Structure 1
Amino acid sequence: DEALLGRLFQYRFHSGAGLRGHSFGNLFLTALSHVTGDFTHAVRVSSEVLAIRGRIFPSTNQLVSLEATLENGKVIAGETHIGATRARIRRVHLVPRKVKPLPEVLEAIAAADLILLGPGSLFTSIIPNLLVSGVAEAIEKSRATRVYIANLMTQPGETLGYTLVDHVRAIHQHTGRKIIDCVVINDRPLAPEVLRRYKHQGAEPVSIDRAELQRMGLECVFDNLLEVHGVVRHNPTRLASLLIENFVKK
């Protein structure tokens, strides 16, 4: 079941010593890298283990950590701690600052017809990959259509109160480049009971200002992309169909 497998790899542990805050997908790759002895090789082998079509590349094979500077000036280190903070994030950066990209990543970007960013954690998943030296530059120079798939919900602390405009601006400000042409947005509202549950957790739907997005020069594509199975997620089949219909050249 592809949908179940997708939810499994996105699952984050909410309790357990050493597990809390980590996703199953990250733990799977960590274990596989220990077995194979090389992280880059582990990512490639994961495609075979999971019978995934296509190729997967990490943005870098260097040992890198993530730091965030909060609005109050405090600096937090590590993805788990950053994701757990309740304070607003001003900026994130890699340690070390200069990180070499995997050559295959730049080659894949240059050859792409369509580049997708997201959905995913803004400050701990999407932006860090764009901070690897040369990646944002390659995306900016690419002739591909560059699409940002808008998150359905904010994340407690990390993006609390963030609108979609805020998400896009954060990406452009961190990279110093305009690397998004279009945003894909869910237009199906959530049921009241789901909204109440997420509000209790400190999350809310990402608000959309279509006029402001268009003033930023962004094309907006709306559709019903919602799937709710305990948690709110994009429906992978509908999302894939939308991307193919709107952006893949016939």
Structure 2
Amino acid sequence: MSYGNKIIRVIKGRRPKIVVIGGGTGLPVILNSLRDKNAAITAIVTVADDGGSSGAIRNYINVVPPGDIRNVLVALSDMPADFLNVFQYRFNGNDSFFAGHAIGNLIIAALSEMEDNIFDAVQKLSKMMKVDGHVFPASNEPLTLNAEFTDGSQISGETEITHAGKRVKRVWITNTDDQNKTPEAVAPVIQAIQEADVVVLGPGSLFTSILPNLMIENLGEAVRTTKAEVIYNCNIMTQLGETEHFTDADHVRVLDQHLGGNFVNTVLVNTQKVPDDYLDHQKYDEYLYQVKPDFAGLRALGCNVISDNFLDLHDHGVFHNGDKVAAEIINLALQKGTRKRR
């Protein structure tokens, strides 16, 4: 890790400001690695999840679903591993009342009631958990993800969208409790985006983890107009019902279409082939094929391309190598920070 260590020495006097936007299981991997490189991190986390423990809590208690927030808090926390293991513990299926619930989700839900909103609850919990950085829910209110499919039909709810078995054409979000109220991000979220050296999108599901954040009008506008370098960390695998047979350029094209203009500056692309028959398709049933490269298409969209072996294979799953991705993000942040100071 000489490259990473070199970066840390260079930025000792100034921590680059990095905003990472998304949700899902890929986000904590990148955040963990960025922590090790002495970055000033703000994680903006989707609040449109309605599945699993998060969805059940959301149905019982009128709070923003806490699952992705919980995982990000753990990724950035300086608390001992024993505490974090308890925070992440999920009750067994035979515990009828608590079955499937993570303790951390229950704590976040409780604090949301105590503080009367999710944003203040997460800030208080961040201090309690000694989080190195900021964790901001994308919205202070529960949001519902809506989708239109290529056949013209529409449906609401992240779980329903991912299990519809159709190709998604576009998504948008609405306020869960008040359809007439325009969803918005709170001021600290917008300020973090405006002041960042780089804004990182992904990895994560294009339509159900990344775009739900960008479809919050003032948040999407902040990303579209920020002076920061906007980086898209392209997924390694395509996803059932979302990005089947997509190239890397197709992913960016969808982002541009949703925000109304070319706004992605740099795309990180994995070029290492996933070995045949390595992926356990039963365990990772949403993953289909490896994303196809289209460097000419990316350049036509105005994107710089950084390609490398970003692959990390374990447990018969396909993941990003967090250290390699974080090193590229830090390097871009340093370059952007230097240009800003000039």
Q: TM-score, normalised by structure 1?
A: 0.84
Q: Write the mapping of 1:208-223 to structure 2, written as runs, cut at 5 A.
A: 208-223=293-308
Which secondary structure state, in structure 1, belongs to the residue aligned with residue 313 of structure 2? strand
Equivalent-residue separation in structure 2 for 1:131 and 1:140 (angstroms): 11
Equivalent-residue separation in structure 1 for 2:185 and 2:308 (angstroms): 34
> Conserved in 1, the CA contact under 8 Å of 2:229 and 2:332?
no
Given the alignment, which residue of 233, 238, 242 partners 2:324?
238
Equivalent-residue separation in structure 2 for 1:138 and 1:216 (angstroms): 20
Equivalent-residue separation in structure 1 for 2:322 and 2:130 (angstroms): 17
**Where does residue 119 of structure 2 map in the other structure?**
40
**Where does residue 241 of structure 2 map in the other structure?**
157
**Where does residue 10 of structure 1 map in the other structure?**
none
Equivalent-residue separation in structure 2 for 1:242 and 1:174 (angstroms): 26
Change in CA separation of 1:205 and 1:45 when aligned onto 2, cut-off 3 Å: farther
Q: TM-score, normalised by structure 2?
A: 0.63
**Where does residue 270 of structure 2 map in the other structure?**
186
**Where does residue 73 of structure 1 map in the other structure?**
152
| CA offsets 1:121-173 (integer angstroms, 9 cap, x no match) | 11111111001121122122211111000001111112112221111111111
Could you say what the CA RMSD is over the residues aligned between the two structures, in angstroms? 3.1
Equivalent-residue separation in structure 2 for 1:154 and 1:50 (angstroms): 35
Quote the offset at 1:206 in angstroms.
0.9
Letter of the structure 2 residue corresponding to residue 57 of structure 1: F
Equivalent-residue separation in structure 2 for 1:132 and 1:162 (angstroms): 25
| 5+ long unaligned stretches in structure 1 | 8-13
1:63 aligns with 2:138: no
Structure with the bigger RCO (C-alpha within 8 Å, sep 6+) is: 2
Which secondary structure state, in structure 1, belongs to the residue aligned with residue 155 of structure 2? strand
> Conserved in 2, the CA contact under 8 Å of 1:136 and 1:179?
no
**Where does residue 25 of structure 1 map in the other structure?**
68
> Conserved in 2, the CA contact under 8 Å of 1:145 and 1:181?
yes
Equivalent-residue separation in structure 1 for 2:190 and 2:310 (angstroms): 30
Q: Write the mapping of 1:157-176 to structure 2, written as runs, cut at 5 A.
A: 157-176=241-260
**Where does residue 86 of structure 1 map in the other structure?**
165
Equivalent-residue separation in structure 1 for 2:329 and 2:270 (angstroms): 13
Change in CA separation of 1:137 and 1:162 when aligned onto 2, cut-off 3 Å: same
Equivalent-residue separation in structure 1 for 2:183 and 2:268 (angstroms): 30
Given the alignment, which residue of 228, 251, 255 partners 1:144?
228
Quote the offset at 1:193 in angstroms.
1.8
> Conserved in 1, the CA contact under 8 Å of 2:253 and 2:301?
no
> Conserved in 2, the CA contact under 8 Å of 1:106 and 1:135?
yes
| 5+ long unaligned stretches in structure 2 | 1-24, 30-50, 57-64, 70-100
Equivalent-residue separation in structure 2 for 1:23 and 1:152 (angstroms): 26
Equivalent-residue separation in structure 2 for 1:168 and 1:39 (angstroms): 31
**Where does residue 224 of structure 1 map in the other structure?**
309
> Conserved in 1, the CA contact under 8 Å of 2:198 and 2:332?
no
Equivalent-residue separation in structure 2 for 1:152 and 1:50 (angstroms): 32
Aligned length: 240
> Conserved in 2, the CA contact under 8 Å of 1:130 and 1:136?
yes
> Conserved in 2, the CA contact under 8 Å of 1:85 and 1:158?
no
Change in CA separation of 1:123 and 1:49 when aligned onto 2, cut-off 3 Å: farther
Letter of the structure 2 residue corresponding to residue 68 of structure 1: A
Percent of aligned pairs with the same amino acid: 31
Superposition misfits of 4+ residues, deviation over 6 angstroms: none
Which secondary structure state, in structure 1, belongs to the residue aligned with residue 239 of structure 2? coil
Which secondary structure state, in structure 2, belongs to the residue aligned with residue 154 of structure 1? strand
Larger radius of gyration: 2
Letter of the structure 2 residue corresponding to residue 148 of structure 1: Y
Change in CA separation of 1:133 and 1:23 when aligned onto 2, cut-off 3 Å: closer
